[in-house]
Amino acid sequence: MATGAEGKEEADCKRYFQVHHIQTYVNDSIDLLLRIKDQEPKVRPLDTLTEYFRSVLAGTHVAFRDYEFISLTPYNRASFVSLFLDCFKHLKNFSLMLQEYHSLLQLTCPHFPMSLLEYVSCNFFADEAAGEEIPILFSKFMNAFQVVFYYQPFIGKVRVAYDAVLSVGCKQVHSGHVVVVPTSSSDPPTPRCKSAGTYSPRVDRKAFEETSETGIEPAVFQSITSDIMAKMAQCGEVYPRESALLDVLDSRPLISFASFIRGLVNNDSIQLDLSTVIKKKSPGVQTLAKSPGIQIQNPNE
């Protein structure tokens, strides 16, 4: 029977594995090894695993991987943003259409969903009365994209909760929790935009149309975000710092989802936090290895 100290140590180990998603990378490395062995029976397992974890440490393990993998952990998402920046930094003074940015994303991640860029689009189309898409400067696109992509799980949960509140009506907040008062409709709320994993050839801008009366009260929005943050903290996921969220939610009497996204993107503290995370993952010069596992070696090592 384990002592109290041994039990605490075991719990700490499990927590560490969960917070840092260690099992995710162990499972991925074994899957990679088995796939390589099918093609190259004489491959040396330790060499393959060593190269894999070197690429993980360098942040280059996400190159050309599927969307499910690059979005799976906060570390993967930060690595992908860093890799994308490094690949296309020569475009920093260029302005491109959203569809063109989507094509660039697909060069580093095949089948990257266009639907995720719906969240990015609301930063640039809100004031376009004519409804026409406009070219976006690379640096401005990246400011919006890195917030939307890195905090994607948090933003997705906020979207579902936001739509639920609008659908059934929220009348009051008690003890920091939203009290939802059902309407005459008994149907469950349905999010108005496609999930991030669903491919769409174009951005659905209608999902973000709003008026001055669209939105929910800041106190209700704060209750939503607090509940989500408390749950996400238990599974090693990331979310914006609470003080920054309070600044975003203090901006107007009613907070729409689009204005919430714009607030996150334009918040200096959030951008500073992200720039620190992304710089830590900057891969520098890379050489793509020829193995099917997309291993990338850093020549400076």
Relative orientation angle of helices 98-108 and 74-87, to the nearest 10 degrees: 110
Please count the CA atoms within 13 angstroms of the CA of 109 that sit on its side-chain side.
Answer: 24
Q: Is residue 67 part of a domain?
A: no
Q: Is residue 95 part of a domain?
A: no
Check whether residue 157 and residue 264 sit in a common domain. Answer: yes
- Phi, psi for 96 (deg, rounded to 5): -130, 160
Instruction: Specify the pLDDT at position 145.
Output: 96
217 in Cβ contact with 232 (< 8 Å): no
* For the ranges 147-156, 172-181, 226-235, the one whose mean pLDDT is highest: 147-156
Please state, for a pLDDT cut of 70, what percent of the chain lies above it.
74
Output the pTM of the full model.
0.78
Q: Is residue 114 part of a domain?
A: no
Check whether residue 234 and residue 288 sit in a common domain. Answer: no
For the beta carbon of residue 206, count every other beta carbon within 10 angstroms.
Answer: 10
CA dihedral (183, 220, 140, 152) in degrees, to 10, reads: -70
Which tokens go with 49? Answer: 């695993």
Q: Is residue 99 part of a domain?
A: no
Check whether residue 293 and residue 185 sit in a common domain. Answer: no
Check whether residue 168 and residue 220 sit in a common domain. Answer: yes
Q: What is the DSSP letter of 205?
A: G
Where residue 190 falls among pLDDT bands split at 50, 70, 90? very low
Rounded Cα distance, 178 and 160, in Å: 14
Q: Provide the number of structural domains found in the chain.
A: 2
Q: Is residue 86 part of a domain?
A: no
Check whether residue 158 and residue 264 sit in a common domain. Answer: yes
Rounded Cα distance, 209 and 99, in Å: 20
Q: Is residue 41 part of a domain?
A: yes
Check whether residue 195 and residue 296 sit in a common domain. Answer: no
Which of 35-39, 92-96, 97-101, 292-296 shows the lowest mean pLDDT across its residues? 292-296
Which of the pair, 236 or 255, is modelled with greater confidence? 255
Please state, for a pLDDT cut of 90, what percent of the chain lies above it.
50
Check whether residue 165 and residue 245 sit in a common domain. Answer: yes
Check whether residue 7 and residue 48 sit in a common domain. Answer: yes
Check whether residue 217 and residue 290 sit in a common domain. Answer: no
Regarding beta strands 296-297 and 287-288, do their DSSP bridges make them parallel or antiparallel, or are they unpaired? Answer: antiparallel
Which of the pair, 144 or 15, is modelled with greater confidence? 144
Runs of H (alpha helix) within the chain: 4-19, 22-39, 45-58, 67-70, 74-87, 98-108, 117-121, 138-150, 152-168, 218-232, 242-249, 257-265, 268-280
Q: Is residue 47 part of a domain?
A: yes
pLDDT tens by residue, 89-144: 999 999 999 999 999 999 999 999 998 888 888 777 644 444 467 899 999 999 99
121 in Cβ contact with 193 (< 8 Å): no
| Spatial CA neighbour of 212 closest among 254, 182, 251 | 254
84 in Cβ contact with 70 (< 8 Å): no
Rounded Cα distance, 202 and 193, in Å: 12
Check whether residue 56 and residue 27 sit in a common domain. Answer: yes
Domain containing residue 244:
151-199+210-270
Check whether residue 221 and residue 159 sit in a common domain. Answer: yes
Q: Is residue 51 part of a domain?
A: yes
Which of 30-44, 91-105, 271-285 shows the lowest mean pLDDT across its residues? 271-285
Asked whether residue 82 carries a pLDDT value surpassing 80, the answer given is yes
